[in-house]
């Protein structure tokens, strides 16, 4: 039986994925991910070592991704007149030292990175080429980052249509799929027009994800309430997830 793990999009909430992988150990043959799930998933597929994945991901969050907090004041005003707040170079500079020239063919596990094709308005499953290209594209949050050209099309964050890519794990041959996701609350409150877009996106994401999770064999919903870009809380999220997972009985 081929076990698969589908890692959800969610920014810093992805620290909970790290806790799950450490609790289960190296038991998955197939891994798919959107956004932060693609980063964690690609590292897991490359090294098959949950502790190493945790150390590298923490390093990324600690040294680089707090820059994404620049979304208020000056950043918000810039966002009104530009297609995005940040250039793609920021993500490439963050991830190039992690993935370098590694390719999907270098992975020890079957890996699928999900991106959103902005021209054809559909999710795409990337399974070949350079890891950094696919992971950067899958992590390009709409509005924050400009689209990345991949395979001749401009693509964005895989979480746009596939917040937890369960179907893609089955497409890659997984017989039993575990979904690792978060409690996405239907919060209708927002402070400004920028937050309004995220509130609407969250509602859409919940509806899409409910359908996708129904296709999983086992679902782990991490009790994480932090905003996706509160990267200074990565360790707190990880520790809480570890504690919550103590009582989980794994289906094998």
Kindly tell me if the per-residue pLDDT of 104 is higher than 90.
Answer: yes
Residue 35 annotated in active site: yes
pLDDT in tens, 176-186: 999 999 987 65
Residue 157 annotated in active site: yes
Q: For domain 3-245, give the CATH superfamily.
A: Cytosolic phospholipase A2 catalytic domain (3.40.1090.10)
Q: Give the SS3 label for residue 139.
A: coil
Beta bridge partners of 86: 145
Name residues whose C-beta falls within 8 Å of residue 110's C-beta, 6 or more positions apart in sequence.
29, 30, 31, 45, 127, 172, 173
pLDDT in tens, 37-70: 999 999 999 999 999 999 999 998 887 665 555 5
- Predicted local confidence at residue 85, as pLDDT: 57
Task: Indicate which residue of 29, 117, 157, 244 is catalytic.
Answer: 157
In whole angstroms, give the CA distance from residue 65 to residue 228.
Answer: 11
Instruction: Name the pLDDT band for 175 (thresholds 50, 70, 90).
Output: very high
- Predicted local confidence at residue 197, as pLDDT: 60
User: Which pTM was predicted?
Assistant: 0.88
Name residues whose C-beta falls within 8 Å of residue 65's C-beta, 6 or more positions apart in sequence.
12, 94, 231
In whole angstroms, give the CA distance from residue 113 to residue 158.
Answer: 8
Task: Indicate which residue of 34, 35, 167, 180 is catalytic.
Answer: 35
What is the domain partition of the chain in residue ranges?
Answer: 3-245
Name residues whose C-beta falls within 8 Å of residue 139's C-beta, 6 or more positions apart in sequence.
35, 36, 38, 39, 91, 95, 145, 157
Proportion of the chain above pLDDT 70, given as a percent: 82
Average pLDDT, the chain: 87
Instruction: Name the pLDDT band for 212 (thresholds 50, 70, 90).
Output: very high
């Amino acid at each position: 039986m081929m076990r698969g793990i589908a890692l959800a999009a969610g920014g810093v909430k992805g620290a909970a994925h790290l806790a799950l992988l450490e609790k289960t150990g190296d038991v998955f043959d197939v891994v798919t991910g959107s956004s932060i799930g693609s980063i964690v998933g690609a590292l897991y597929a490359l090294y098959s070592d949950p502790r190493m994945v945790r150390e590298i991901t923490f390093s990324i969050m600690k040294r680089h991704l707090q820059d994404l907090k620049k979304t208020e004041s000056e950043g918000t005003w810039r966002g009104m007149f530009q297609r995005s707040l940040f250039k793609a170079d920021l993500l490439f500079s963050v991830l190039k030292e992690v993935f370098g020239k590694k390719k999907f063919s270098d992975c020890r596990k079957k890996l699928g990175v999900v991106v959103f094709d902005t021209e054809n308005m559909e999710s795409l499953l990337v399974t070949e080429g350079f890891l950094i290209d696919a992971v950067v594209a899958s992590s390009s949050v709409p509005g924050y980052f400009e689209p990345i050209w991949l395979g001749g099309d401009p693509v964005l964050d895989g979480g746009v249509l596939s917040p937890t890519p369960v179907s893609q794990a089955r497409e890659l041959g997984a017989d039993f799929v575990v979904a690792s996701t978060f409690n996405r609350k239907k919060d209708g409150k927002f402070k400004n027009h920028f937050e309004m877009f995220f509130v609407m996106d969250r509602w859409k994401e919940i509806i899409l994800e409910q359908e996708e999770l129904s296709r999983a064999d086992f679902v782990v919903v991490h009790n994480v309430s932090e905003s996706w870009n509160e990267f200074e809380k990565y360790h707190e999220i990880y520790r809480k997830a570890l504690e919550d997972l103590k009582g989980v009985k794994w289906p094998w």
